[in-house]
Structure formats: C-alpha cells, structure tokens
Amino acid sequence: MRITFHQSRSGRNYIEPWLNSLTVRDRAAVLDIFQDIRDHGLSAIGCKFRQLERKLWEIKMRGMDGGYRFFYVMIEYDHMHVLHSYRKQSQKTPRLELELARQRLKEVLR
C-alpha cells in the first residue's frame, strides 16, 4: 500500500514535523506500524482502523508514551492519504482535531 502525508498548497508537510516531535521510541514505533501498513495494508497488526464518517477514517496506535491517532482517506484501493495526527489524551476525539481533519479531507477531495 502507498502512504502519503497531507501537505499544504505551498508544499508544507503537516505530518512529518509532528512525527519528528515524538520521542525516538515513539517515532520508531509509529514508523514501524506505517511500514507494516505498507507491507500488509489494512491487515496490519499493532493498530486499529475505524471509519469515523463517510470517507474519513482513523488509525489508532499505541506508542511507548501513549496513544496516537491518525486521520486518513483512501484515495484509491491501495493509496492511503494521512490527513492529520494527534496524541490521544481523552476518550473522545477532540472536536478541533476532527474539524481540522474534515477541512483537509475537503482539500483532498477537490
């Protein structure tokens, strides 16, 4: 499976700087899971996939220092486009995080 990270119109990548802000252990754990997704698609282990609404999906992952969430959209059968990421701090998805993912989804679908 091909995985791409969302960028602004000016080319600024939103996900990579966030990944680089993680501890080395968590960054390694997250990148290992993304590699497993590349290799095994939606059958990857170490994460859970959940549909939030229509085309907006969520990946749930656990790192050494906590839980992480990634919003994504499937562009094609084998192309996952990651829209937004955040560190899980409560049971419910924060409204601001979800709104940002929805906004980026609209950009991708245009």
Domain holding 77: CATH number? 3.30.2310
For the chain, residues with pLDDT lower than 70 are 64
Structure confidence at residue 64 (pLDDT): 67
Range of the domain at 83: 2-109
Q: Residue 35: CB partners within 8 Å, gap ≥ 6?
A: none
Structure confidence at residue 68 (pLDDT): 94
Q: The whole model's pTM is what?
A: 0.92
Task: Give how many domains the chain has, as a whole number.
Answer: 1
CB burial readout 6-43, b (16+ within 10 A) else e? beeeeeeebbeebbeebeeebeebbeebbeebeeeeee
Q: How many CB atoms lie within 10 A of CB 66?
A: 13
Structure confidence at residue 90 (pLDDT): 82
